[in-house]
A and B are shown apart, each in its own frame.
Chain A
């Protein structure tokens, strides 16, 4: 079976930005990850990172307004090393990209953990403003982990 080139996603989900639909995103993505051969632990962690990213879109980009979230997933099996790439696009309010960062975890307080979780699970996470409006988050992670721990230094602001 021919695999699509990297610019064509293997999986696309275009869904209303609503908290009650986060479970649908997780369930669909979980099925895709398992089909891609990931074990349960990796699948759960990726679903958590994407859930956090989508929740941030709902809370900050749309902030109660209606809108769409488009999730695309790519298997980059031909890259070296093979990677998985996840792209979330929204049409919401663009926030200052410099404000998107993992917070100091020694400060025990509610909230602000989402970006930290994304950066812990993914090997790369980059936010950029889309020229047509809204924001794009691109996350990449090794298809097969090497045992290396991702660091928050992998956060990039376009």
Chain B
């Protein structure tokens, strides 16, 4: 873990043509996951464009971050709208695998 990993979480939102890209950057843990949850809740509940959460800038995530993404997935399934996780770092991919959630989400290597 390097000092750059501990930068505050920032979240960019990009509305593309027929796709919403949400791009958190920074560590997602018990301190920062409420921030991500608030952004996801306010952006996922309306609209039907497919959503891509680009995790390429997330070097670390704990179970509170995973829980936030599970909640987002459930929201999208209710609407319904597609949710894809993109560009998982090795560390983040590892927690999804340990949690046996890697098969629950659609995961891609790149943002389309």
Contacts and interface: CB of A to CB of B under 8 A. Distances in A.
Interface of A: 19-20, 22-23, 26-27, 30, 41, 43-45, 47-48, 51-52, 55, 58-59, 105, 108-111, 113-114, 116-117, 120-121
Contact of A110 (B3, B60, B67, B94): B67
A126 B15 CA distance: 47
A27 B1 contact: yes
Interface residues of B, number: 26
Nearest to A33: B1
B62 interface: yes
Contacts of B63: 52, 55, 111, 113-114, 117
30 contacts: A19-B29, A19-B30, A22-B30, A22-B31, A23-B5, A23-B6, A23-B29, A26-B1, A27-B6, A30-B1, A41-B94, A44-B1, A47-B1, A51-B29, A55-B29, A55-B62, A58-B30, A59-B30, A105-B99, A105-B100, A110-B70, A110-B74, A111-B67, A113-B63, A113-B99, A114-B62, A117-B95, A117-B99, A120-B98, A121-B98
B96 to A, nearest CB: 10
A45 B90 CA distance: 12
Nearest to A27: B1
Name which of B1, B70, B95 has the most chain A CB atoms within 10 A of its CB.
Answer: B1
